[in-house]
Each structure stands twice: as C-alpha cells, then as structure tokens.
C-alpha cells in the first residue's frame, strides 16, 4: 500500500547486491502513483534507460517495440540490475525487462503485477512494533520510544506515517511524543497530522483514488465509489453484497470494485470475500465521505445498512430456527416496523443450509454489533425501527452461538429502541431476549424478572403463542431456582396453550422442561417425560428437540447414579446436534459428558472433553459455562493428585460464577477451596 516503504526497501536491497552486478545498476521512477505526476509511458521509460546505457538520443528508435529490442540486445551480454520504481501496471513494466540471464529486475508497485511471467512477489505490510519503534528512534533522535508507545499504533505502523511523525519530533525538540500522540488520538482524522514538508500520507493515498475516479473502466470508477461508500458507513469489514447495496450496483460489479481496491492497495482481503482498509486508509475514506463526495442527498448509510442487515437476518432466521410458530412469530411485523423494510432481494445472501447461515452470521457479527452499538439510543425513528427489526431477527442466531457479550449489545439496544418507539410487541421481544441472556449467564432471578415483564405485555396484547413461550421459560427458570410448585403451574399452563395452538414443537419443549422438574423427585418419571419430547422431535424432525431430549435423559441417569447410560445419551445428543449450532445445548451436553466420564473413571477422556468445553466457552467469553467447566477441571486435577493446581482452577471458577444463581456449585467450590472433602 501507499507509504509502506517499498522504494526504501528496494533501494536498500539494490545497494546490497551491487557486487553481484559488476556491469552496473539502472534506476527509473515510473511514477505509477506519484502525486501530481502522470505515469511514464513505456516509450518514455525505454528512452531513459537507453540513455543511461549510453545510447545516442538520435539512435533511440521511436517505436516502443524497436526500443525494447535495442534495450534487450544491449543488456543481453551484461550483468546489470534494473530497479523499476513505482510501476503502474504490468503493461508498463513488460517492455522494460531484459532477456539476458545475467540481469535481474526489482520492481515496486501498489499493483500486484501477478501477470508478469517469472516474477516472484514480496508483499509488504506495516512494520512490526519493534521495527516501528526503531524507525521512530532513528529519524527523531528520541531514544525513549519503544514498541508500546501510542504513536506506533496511531501511525498504523506505516513507514511513511512514522517518518512524518519522526520528522516533526526531530524538527521540534519541545514537542513531546505523548503530546503528539494525544493530538493524533483526539482528532477525527489523523491525516492532517501526518503531513510534513513534502511527505504526506493523504496525498499518497489520494493518487490511487483519484486515478480510479478518473478512469474510463467501469470497474475503476466503481472502485472509487466503493471506497467513498466505505468511508460513509465505516464498518470493520466488507463483503461484496453489502457494497453492492451501498453503491447501487450488483454483486458482480461490487466484487470487481473490491478487487480493484485490493489491486491498488487501498483495501486488504483479510480472508476470501472479506475486505478491510488499513486504519489510515479508513481515515482517508472518511475524509472523502465528508468532503461532499459521499452519499447523495437524502440517503442515510447507517439506515441502508441496518435495513439490509435486517433483511439478511431474516434469511438467517429461517435457516437457523426450525419451521413453526417460533420462526413465524419473530418474522411477524410489529407496530413500528415499516412496510417493505427488506432490502433489494437480489443483493441478499442465499443459504442452502443451517451451516451456511451460521457461517455468514459469524462473518458479519462484528459489523452488526458495531452498527447496532453506534445507533443505540438514536433519536431517528427510521433508524430505531430498523435497529429493532434487525436485533429481533438476528438474536436467535446470536443466542444459538452463545455470544453472550453480543447478545447484551443487541438486546439492550433493541429494548431502548422499542421503548422510544412505543412499540409494545418489540419491547416484549427485547425483554424476552435479554431474559435469555441472563439465563445463559446463570442469573436466573434477573431472567425471571424480565420474563414476567414480557409475559405481562403479551397478555395485554393477547398474543397466545408468546404467552405460551413466556410461561414455558418462566417454568424453566422457577425450576432452576428451586420453586418447584410454581414451576409446575407455569409449565402445565404452557402445555395447555401448546395443544390449543396445535404447536408440537412447543409441546415437546414443555415436556422436556417438565422432565427437568420431575428429576428432583422421580428421575424415572423424568426420563419418560423426556422420551415423550423425543418422540415428538422425531415425528417433526426437530434437531434441537431431539438433541435436548437425549441430553436431559443423560442428566436423569446421572441423578440415578447410572453414568454409563448417561454417557451414551450425551454422546448421542452431540451426534444429533452436529454443527447445527446450539451453544447452550452443546455446552450442557459436554458438561454432562465430562461428569459421566469422570464417574466412570475415564479421567483421560474426561480431561480431553473438559479441555474442549473450556476452549469453546472461553472463545465465546462465556464466563458462566467457563466457571462450570473449571469446577470439573479442578475435580479431575485433584483425582490426579495435583491439588495445588486444582485449587487455583477452583479459585478461577469461583470468580467466574460470582453473581450467578448457581448456589449449590458455589457452595461446593468454597468448600473445595477451603480444603473440605467433597464427594
């Protein structure tokens, strides 16, 4: 990219290779991206090289092909190193290449030049922190600067930006590095601070954009427009479909535009089909957006993106949530949802499987959270309505994947938006979703309060299906809190509503929760209730119901002291689930399997399963499940005689579970840490 130090590195290499090319070295600046200069034509470059080789101006052919042939003949018997600096394209370079085996060429370019035969590419990225600090010290003369200084990251570790900062520090001895870092951090754009004398990061970046904008090729002009739209919206990463929506083009043109931005080093392809700008390019794109070259009057990039993501999230919902009332209710518009909210269908992703939908969600989650987070509390009714729809439709995916931190951002923003809009149904959705967050975090009392608030709204609105769902969740929470009689009442009411609605999925889930309730008094009866749930799941082909039933049967067998039977059901649960995506169910099943294997004396396998559970929990920042897994990990360490390590792990488990309603486990952990024997 611009300012990454291509020319400096190439010149350094050329000087170190001087002895290997005794017949000389040739240098020509092709001005492919020089501010204020037009790139040299091949004919102009050939003329310069032939003159350097001693050719008389009168003897240099006017036709480029003839001039190229003369260059090759002059170089054929020699050992000469050519440096072609700042090439615009392969077409500019190709006529300048010698034919002799003793010659070599170093080319620098923002373009990858992959079509040059026999070329070896050496892509350059920003410097490491240590190298950045070394450059700063060498140019500025300030010895105290190390890799941890704020200036390193504020310059994006880009050599040109580092040289500008170092030059400013060298010129003004009274300017303190911390003060300069504060100026860079406090400004909306760092680029005004990254200009000194003839060095300018902005000018260097502008060359590539301006050339694209003025080009005749459609892909180049699309690329310039795409960069401006990226500055308008400013998200962490981009894909072709979103850019197509932002630019008003189609997926093919958006892909071509993004590829061109990669070609001229204004974007980086971080993984296949995902693009992101360097931090300073991001600043440059924001400046373009703010300079009147941004969106047309009357358009709102955030609103466009919120609506596009909402439309895409609806497709994720239909792929992730099994058909039935759960899916239908989520898709039903609320009072504040505008008609025709969906974006252009042609610019939306298509999912042929649950796995594809989850993969798309994983890829776009950072963008969705950033977009929702910065629009939380917006006073704009259109944005608030679009945010509310997006959060409601995307939440089941986030919950399935166990992304607790992201659930909180979406849930709280959705609740604020719904209340600001006076949208009762959207408020109840958000309350229920936040209750789910508290449940996954082990805070069942908090979840119960929100569930009851949502239930009151659904009763007022007369929405039977959501009354049933809230009662079902209420029963589950009350069972976990030990309020068994109230739990039974709520679950039996939920079961009656399921039958009234002819909702087999809801009925199966309630049977499962009733089984969990019965486990406290009659585990055999609990197993029969879970088998009723399993039978319904088999009949309707509901993966989540089937895997949950086997998981719950496994826990009932653990209660009965039958770990071998429990392990079989936990393994079957994981087999059924596969990659379907249900973190709560998967984590509970893996936790049960660890407990069963430990009781069977299969400590080696139990340790492997526990390590995998911990890895997955920590990857999701799931402190609650991480705490429960560390509890088991400590027990396994104790059984290996590693008591000191076990106590450290239990301390970590206590810290993770602090503030949850997991009282029995917390009490056991306190006894374990204190050294009291626990069976």
Closest CA to 262 of 320, 339, 208, 328: 208
- Chain position carrying tokens 């092909």: 65
- Write a three-state SS string for 397-434: HHHHCCCHHHHHHHHHHHHHHHHHHCCHHHHHHHHHHH
Tokens encoding 246: 């932002």
pLDDT tens digits, one per residue of 578-633: 877 789 999 999 999 999 999 999 999 999 999 999 999 999 889 999 999 999 99
In which band, very low, low, confident or very high, does the pLDDT at 323 lie, cut at 50, 70 and 90?
confident
Tokens encoding 511: 């049977």
Residue 77 · residue 25 · CB < 8 Å: no
Residues 6+ apart with CB under 8 A from 670: 654
In which band, very low, low, confident or very high, does the pLDDT at 338 lie, cut at 50, 70 and 90?
low
Does 679 score more than 70 pLDDT? no
Residue 238 pairs with which residues in a beta bridge? 275
Closest CA to 509 of 398, 501, 593: 501
pLDDT for 325: 87
The beta strands (E) that lie in 171-267 are given as 195-196, 199-200
pLDDT for 198: 86
Q: What is the mean pLDDT of residues 654-658?
A: 94
Strands 268-271 and 274-276: antiparallel
pLDDT for 677: 53
In which band, very low, low, confident or very high, does the pLDDT at 292 lie, cut at 50, 70 and 90?
low
pLDDT for 558: 96
Strands 81-87 and 104-109: parallel
Tokens encoding 608: 């492997």
pLDDT for 297: 42
Does 359 score more than 60 pLDDT? yes
pLDDT for 593: 97
Residue 456 · residue 435 · CB < 8 Å: no
3-state secondary structure of 238: strand
CA distance 577 to 358: 14
Pinpoint the alpha helices (H) of 541-582: 543-559, 563-577
Residues 6+ apart with CB under 8 A from 535: none
Does 678 score more than 70 pLDDT? no
CA distance 280 to 302: 21
Per-residue b/e over 466-486, b at no fewer than 16 CB within 10 Å? bbbbbbbbbbbbbbbbeeeee
Closest CA to 12 of 112, 124, 113, 92: 124
Residue 27 pairs with which residues in a beta bridge? 83
Q: What is the mean pLDDT of residues 152-166?
A: 93
Residue 25 pairs with which residues in a beta bridge? 81
pLDDT for 294: 45
Strongest mean pLDDT among 68-82, 279-293, 296-310, 320-334: 68-82
Q: What is the mean pLDDT of residues 26-41?
A: 89
pLDDT for 342: 52
Does 450 score more than 50 pLDDT? yes
Which helix (H) or strand (E) segment is 105 a member of?
Answer: strand 104-109
Q: What is the mean pLDDT of residues 179-188?
A: 88
Tokens encoding 590: 């893996």
Tokens encoding 622: 């799931």
3-state secondary structure of 473: helix
As a whole number, the mean pLDDT across the chain is: 91
Closest CA to 649 of 666, 629, 667, 665: 629
Does 296 score more than 90 pLDDT? no
pLDDT for 186: 87
| DSSP symbol at 274 | E
pLDDT for 339: 59
Does 187 score more than 80 pLDDT? no
Q: What is the mean pLDDT of residues 388-407?
A: 93
Catalogue the long-range contacts made by 431-434 (C-beta closer than 8 Å, 24 or more residues apart): 431/457, 432/466, 432/469, 432/470, 432/473, 433/391, 433/392, 433/395, 433/399, 433/407, 434/408
pLDDT tens digits, one per residue of 468-477: 999 999 999 9
Q: What angle do CA 276, 278, 279 make, to 5 degrees?
A: 115
pLDDT for 464: 95
CA distance 227 to 205: 12
pTM (2 decimals)? 0.87
Residue 156 · residue 186 · CB < 8 Å: no
Residue 360 · residue 316 · CB < 8 Å: yes
Residue 525 · residue 517 · CB < 8 Å: no
Does 114 score more than 90 pLDDT? no
Q: What is the mean pLDDT of residues 523-534?
A: 95
- 32-36, 232-236, 310-314: segment of lowest average pLDDT: 32-36
């Amino acid at each position: 990219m611009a300012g990454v130090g291509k020319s400096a590195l190439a010149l350094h290499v050329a000087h170190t290779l001087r002895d290997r090319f005794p017949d000389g070295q040739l240098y020509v600046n092709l001005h492919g991206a020089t501010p204020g200069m037009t790139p040299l034509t091949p004919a102009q470059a050939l003329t310069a090289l032939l003159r350097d080789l001693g050719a008389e101006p009168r003897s240099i052919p006017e036709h480029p092909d003839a001039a190229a042939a003369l260059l090759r003949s002059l170089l054929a018997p020699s050992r000469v190193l050519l440096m072609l600096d700042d090439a615009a394209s392969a077409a500019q370079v190709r006529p300048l290449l010698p034919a002799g085996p003793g010659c070599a060429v170093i080319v620098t370019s923002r373009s990858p030049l992959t079509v040059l035969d026999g070329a070896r590419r050496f892509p350059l990225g920003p410097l490491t922190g240590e190298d950045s600090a070394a450059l700063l010290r060498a140019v500025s003369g300030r010895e105290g600067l190390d890799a941890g200084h704020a200036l390193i990251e504020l310059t994006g570790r880009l050599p040109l930006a580092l040289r500008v900062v170092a030059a400013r520090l060298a010129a003004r001895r009274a300017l303190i590095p911390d003060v300069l870092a504060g100026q860079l951090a406090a400004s909306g754009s760092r680029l005004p601070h990254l200009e000194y004398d003839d060095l300018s990061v902005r000018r260097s970046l502008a060359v590539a954009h301006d050339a694209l904008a003025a080009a005749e090729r459609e892909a180049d002009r699309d690329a310039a427009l795409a960069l401006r739209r990226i500055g308008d919206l400013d998200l962490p990463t981009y894909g072709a479909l979103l850019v197509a929506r932002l630019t008003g083009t189609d997926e093919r043109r958006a892909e071509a535009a993004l590829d061109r931005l990669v070609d001229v080093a204004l974007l980086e392809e971080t993984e296949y089909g995902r693009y992101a700008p360097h931090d300073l390019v991001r600043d440059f794109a924001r400046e373009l957006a703010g300079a009147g070259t941004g969106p047309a009057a009357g358009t709102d990039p955030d609103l466009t993106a919120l609506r596009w993501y909402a439309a895409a999230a609806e497709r994720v919902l239909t792929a992730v949530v099994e058909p039935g009332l759960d899916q239908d209710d989520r898709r039903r518009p609320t009072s504040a949802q505008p008609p025709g909210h969906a974006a252009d269908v042609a610019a939306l992703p298509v999912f042929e499987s649950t796995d594809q939908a989850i993969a798309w969600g994983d890829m776009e989650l950072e963008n969705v959270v950033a977009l929702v987070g910065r629009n939380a509390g917006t006073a704009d009714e259109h944005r608030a309505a679009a945010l509310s729809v997006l959060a409601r439709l995307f939440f089941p995916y986030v919950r399935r994947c166990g992304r607790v931190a992201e659930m909180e951002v979406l849930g709280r923003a959705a609740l604020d938006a719904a209340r600001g809009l006076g949208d009762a149904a959207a408020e109840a959705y958000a309350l229920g979703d936040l209750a789910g967050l508290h449940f996954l975090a082990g805070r069942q009392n908090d979840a119960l309060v929100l569930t009851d608030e949502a239930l009151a709204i659904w009763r007022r609105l007369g929405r039977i299906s959501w009354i049933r769902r809230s009662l079902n969740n209420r029963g589950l929470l009350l069972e976990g809190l030990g309020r068994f009689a109230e739990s039974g009442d709520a679950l039996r009411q939920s079961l009656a509503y399921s039958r009234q609605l002819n909702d087999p999925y809801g009925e199966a889930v309630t049977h499962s929760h009733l089984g969990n309730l019965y486990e406290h008094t009659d585990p055999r009866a609990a197993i029969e209730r879970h088998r009723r749930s399993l039978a319904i799941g088999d009949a309707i082909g509901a993966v989540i119901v089937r895997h949950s039933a086997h998981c719950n049967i496994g826990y009932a067998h653990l209660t009965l002291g039958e770990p071998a039977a429990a392990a079989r059901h936990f393994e079957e649960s994981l087999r059924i689930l596969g990659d379907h995506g249900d973190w709560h169910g998967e984590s509970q099943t893996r936790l049960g399997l660890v407990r069963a294997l430990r009781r069977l004396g299969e400590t080696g396998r139990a340790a492997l399963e526990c390590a995998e559970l911990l890895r997955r929990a920590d990857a999701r920042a799931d402190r609650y499940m991480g705490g429960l897994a560390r509890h088991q990990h400590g027990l396994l360490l104790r059984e290996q005689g590693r008591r000191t390590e076990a106590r450290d792990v239990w301390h970590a488990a206590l810290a993770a579970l602090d503030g949850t309603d997991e009282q029995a486990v917390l009490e056991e952990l306190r006894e374990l840490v204190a050294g009291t024997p626990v069976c």
